[in-house]
Structure 1
Amino acid sequence: MNIGVSGASGKLGQAIVRELQARNSDHVLVAISRTPASTPGVEGRVGDYDKPETLATAYAGLDKLIIIPTTDLRPGMRGTQNETAITSAVAAGVKHIVFLSAAGTREQAEPAIGASYWRGEQALIKSGASWTILRMNYYAEALADEAESALATGALTGFGENKVAFVGREDVAAAAAGIVLTEGHAGAIYNATGAKSYTGAERAALMGEVLGKTVVFAAIPVETFKAGMAQMGLPSFVIDTITGIQLDFASGAFDVVTGDVEKLAGRKPQDLRDVLVAKLG
């Protein structure tokens, strides 16, 4: 069987390729990206979501394909890219398409980050192809990336107390690999989450424990949050995207706990503390 990973040069793509290599060596693995690197045991192909003509060749002959969206935050761009990748995969005759989406995905308008995932999901569902959607909760590694600013101010900020079931990137990769290496997932929508949801206070305390410093959770007004990012010189569309994520936190969009990682990966998801220790310890 020929298995492709589209978006293979990113951190998640690399993790999925490693997981596929570790779990099964009998299949042909194809790593697709704009700048494919030479990897032992993996065929590299050029594929650019902004250049559909490259995808026709990149997706040719694949039995299963995992599509990972880009990190392009410009309004409308990622949604168009997702639709292009799916249309190209269907045209290439890929037998089963797995789309990486986000927890809480629903119909939203740009610049909400969920808008691009919704467009991708809808395009896939309506495509007529055999498909599976894997919705990811918020990366545990992304929380670790907030540690520097939290240490500087002594506070992890948000728009109000909320709960998030952070998931490790390696767990998402293992779940995605499980989908393409086993059968029975056609038409399924899974949610890759951690084993529990953490409140703002709980994750701030955990971050402080790992770092050996006092970190508290502080609720701040939306406008204060946006003004702080503007002072950092971030583009308006980036500010809108990050603000949208925090609003999703506050609305409970990421307060979703499932057993899907264990079901698909064959092991329990990593504990948030373990991920923070690995990143910050």
Structure 2
Amino acid sequence: MKIGISGASGQLGQSVLKELAQRGGGHELVGISRSPGTVRSPAEGRWGDFDAPQTLSAAFAGLDRLLLIPSADLSPGVRGRQLRGAIDAAVAAGVQHLFLVSAAGTRKAEVPSLIEPYWTAEQHLIRTAPLWTILRMNYFAESMAQEIQMSAAMGVLTGLGEERVAYVSRDDLAAAAAGALLGDGHAGAIYNATGPAAVSGEERARTASQVLGKPLGFAVIDEAQLRGGLSQAGLPEIVVNVMADIKKSFVRGDFDVVTTDIERLSGRPPKSLGQILAAAAV
């Protein structure tokens, strides 16, 4: 079987390829990237650019299964368009089973909503692909660990509300994706890749205090304060908008869901936020 991974030079793509290689099985691996030279053996590197659809026919040629990872482009409307084009190119290239990395809380949405590209891609995938599987990821534990480390000097972590989130490790998501790609019986399934428990803002601060060995509190702020702080930190407006939307999705409970899908697909229990934070603090 020949398995392709888009976004192969990114952190998630690299991790999925590493998991697939470790699991063996004699399958051919293809890493698709705008920087194919960075794809490590035993995977074959192929040039493929979501913004250059003409490159995707060759990139997807001969693949039996393909994992589509959304790009990092945060511009409204872009990722939905990119993923639609990639799905069409994969179907035209004869790929039989498409796997999509989506997001928890995905539902009908329009541009410029943060979840619009996931809704757009999921719906197009379901309508178009011969066989499909969707992996809805929770918020990355590594991203929250970075936020905690940046905020720790102030002695307080902030949020827009309780913010219960079942943070998932990037490597755990990669292991689950690898398990799904190599396994059978996943066609038509929508999985929710989550951490082992939903953690509130207060619990997040308490965990960080224990791991970092310093007292940390948790304070609820409003959106204007959040945006002001992010702007003062020098972040561009597009990033400020995305971060504000993410925090609002925390309050809505989009990521307050816990499943056993990670362990079911990967064969191992998911790491907790505390474990990821401890590893990042070393």
Q: State the shift of 1:152 in Å.
A: 2.4
- Residue 4 of structure 2: aligned partner: 4
The TM-score normalised by the length of structure 1 is: 0.97
Q: 2: distance between equivalents of 1:38 and 1:175?
A: 20
Q: 2: distance between equivalents of 1:77 and 1:34?
A: 17
Moved over 6 A (4+): none
- Residue 81 of structure 1: aligned partner: 82
Q: 1: distance between equivalents of 2:218 and 2:256?
A: 17
Relative to structure 1, the CA distance from residue 109 to residue 171 in structure 2 (aligned partners, 3 Å threshold; closer, same or farther) is same
Relative to structure 1, the CA distance from residue 134 to residue 38 in structure 2 (aligned partners, 3 Å threshold; closer, same or farther) is closer
- Other structure's SS at 2:207 match: helix
- Residue 60 of structure 2: aligned partner: 59
> What aligned pairs does 1:66-215 form with structure 2 within 5 A after superposition?
66-215=67-216
Which range moved further: 88-97 or 225-234?
Answer: 225-234
Q: State the shift of 1:221 in Å.
A: 0.5
Q: 2: distance between equivalents of 1:228 and 1:271?
A: 28
Q: 2: distance between equivalents of 1:113 and 1:11?
A: 21
The amino acid across from 1:14 in the alignment is Q
Q: 1: distance between equivalents of 2:121 and 2:33?
A: 18
Alignment gaps of 5+ in structure 2: none
Which range moved further: 222-231 or 6-15?
Answer: 222-231
Q: 1: distance between equivalents of 2:39 and 2:261?
A: 32
* Percentage of matched positions with identical amino acids: 51
The amino acid across from 1:148 in the alignment is Q
- Other structure's SS at 2:128 match: coil
The TM-score normalised by the length of structure 2 is: 0.97
Q: 2: distance between equivalents of 1:214 and 1:112?
A: 36
Which range moved further: 220-229 or 36-45?
Answer: 36-45
For residues 92-131 of structure 1, the C-alpha deviation after alignment (integer angstroms, 9 at most, x for no partner) is 1101000000111112233322111111111101114200
Alpha-carbon contact 1:111-1:237 (below 8 Å) kept: no
Q: 2: distance between equivalents of 1:203 and 1:53?
A: 45
The amino acid across from 1:9 in the alignment is S
Q: 1: distance between equivalents of 2:218 and 2:169?
A: 21
For residues 12-69 of structure 1, the C-alpha deviation after alignment (integer angstroms, 9 at most, x for no partner) is 0000000000112400000000001252211000000000011110000000000000
- Other structure's SS at 1:244 match: helix
- Residue 18 of structure 1: aligned partner: 18
The amino acid across from 2:19 in the alignment is E
Alpha-carbon contact 1:111-1:240 (below 8 Å) kept: no
Q: State the shift of 1:87 in Å.
A: 1.0
Q: 2: distance between equivalents of 1:232 and 1:29?
A: 41
Which range moved further: 206-215 or 55-64?
Answer: 206-215
Q: 1: distance between equivalents of 2:84 and 2:236?
A: 25
- Residue 251 of structure 2: aligned partner: 250
For residues 178-205 of structure 1, the C-alpha deviation after alignment (integer angstroms, 9 at most, x for no partner) is 1110100111000000111111100111
For residues 251-280 of structure 1, the C-alpha deviation after alignment (integer angstroms, 9 at most, x for no partner) is 100001000001100111112211111111
- Other structure's SS at 1:263 match: helix
Aligned residues: 281
Alignment gaps of 5+ in structure 1: none
Alpha-carbon contact 2:97-2:129 (below 8 Å) kept: no
Q: 2: distance between equivalents of 1:11 and 1:269?
A: 18
The amino acid across from 1:268 in the alignment is P
Which range moved further: 189-198 or 204-213?
Answer: 204-213
Alpha-carbon contact 1:150-1:215 (below 8 Å) kept: no
- Other structure's SS at 2:219 match: strand
The amino acid across from 2:78 in the alignment is M
- Other structure's SS at 1:174 match: helix
Q: 2: distance between equivalents of 1:236 and 1:274?
A: 32
Alpha-carbon contact 2:8-2:39 (below 8 Å) kept: no
Q: State the shift of 1:157 in Å.
A: 1.0
- Other structure's SS at 1:126 match: helix
